């Protein structure tokens, strides 16, 4: 894969998914962080059904910091792994209140120090909450598409991201974060991809 081919693929997918965007609902950087933590091993649809009630009563880091962890566990229970997620969210809220005056840091390194926030999550937060894409969030869809289209032969998310960043210009980071996810959900499924409808099948190693 070279830069010219990478750009051609991205441009085709941009035309295929002109409305591609983040599928998590949020209004503030903290709500984005909260939703991203909940989305681990959970669908965005389920997260979006769960967060409105929470954000109505507990919209910021300070309110989550004050809530009893048992109540938080109850509220996020539908999203799975609720005990571990509640613990991470409580610890994160504490750090934000005590160190950042309740605000989410606009910095990859600082974000990745927060409990429950890895590189993928930090990439999502930097893009969606601050409109400052620093890299490419490699979720299951991105990994699958990167492997099938020949962007990377790696299996580890960080190594896949590095391969992607070698051939994708920075001005396309925002697009790639969205269109790879949409392509994975709509056509390039894991088990039964709709190859006959795929607009980039001529570049694909899977077909």
Known catalytic residue at 170: no
Domains of the chain: 3-21+135-203 (1.10.1670.10), 29-128 (1.10.340.30)
Average pLDDT, the chain: 96
When pLDDT is averaged across residues 173-178 and rounded to a whole number, the result is: 95
Catalytic residue from among 139, 143, 170, 174: 139
Q: Which two tokens stand for residue 146?
A: 């990167």
pTM metric for this prediction: 0.93
**In the annotation, is 60 catalytic?**
no
Q: How far is the C-alpha of 64 from the C-alpha of 34, rounded, in Å?
A: 10
Q: Residues 85, 90, 120, 143: which is the catalytic one?
A: 120
SS (H, E, C) 99-140: HHCCCCCCCHHHHCCCCCCCHHHHHHHHHHCCCCCCCCCCCH
Burial of residue 173, with CB atoms counted within 10 A of its CB: 0-12 exposed, 13-18 middle, 19 or more buried: buried
Quick: pLDDT tens for 95-151. Answer: 999 999 999 999 999 999 999 999 999 999 999 999 999 999 999 999 999 999 999
Q: Give the model's pLDDT for residue 206.
A: 83
């Amino acid at each position: 894969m070279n830069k010219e081919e990478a750009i051609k693929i991205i441009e085709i997918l941009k035309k295929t998914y002109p409305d591609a965007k983040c599928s998590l609902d949020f209004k503030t950087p903290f709500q984005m962080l909260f939703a991203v933590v909940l989305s681990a091993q959970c669908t965005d649809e389920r997260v979006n059904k769960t967060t409105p009630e929470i954000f109505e009563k507990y919209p910021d880091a300070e309110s989550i910091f004050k809530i009893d962890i048992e109540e938080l566990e109850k509220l996020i229970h539908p999203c799975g792994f609720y005990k571990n997620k509640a613990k991470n969210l409580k610890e994160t809220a504490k750090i934000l209140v005590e160190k950042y005056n309740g605000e989410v840091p606009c910095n990859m390194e600082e974000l990745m120090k927060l409990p429950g926030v890895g590189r993928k999550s930090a990439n999502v937060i930097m893009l969606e909450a601050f409109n400052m894409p620093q890299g490419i969030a490699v979720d299951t869809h991105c990994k699958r598409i990167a492997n099938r289209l020949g962007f990377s032969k790696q299996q580890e998310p960080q190594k896949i991201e590095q391969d992607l960043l070698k051939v994708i210009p920075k001005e396309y980071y925002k697009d790639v974060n969205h269109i790879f996810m949409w392509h994975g959900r709509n056509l390039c499924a894991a088990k039964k991809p709709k190859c006959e409808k795929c607009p980039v099948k001529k570049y694909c190693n899977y077909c």
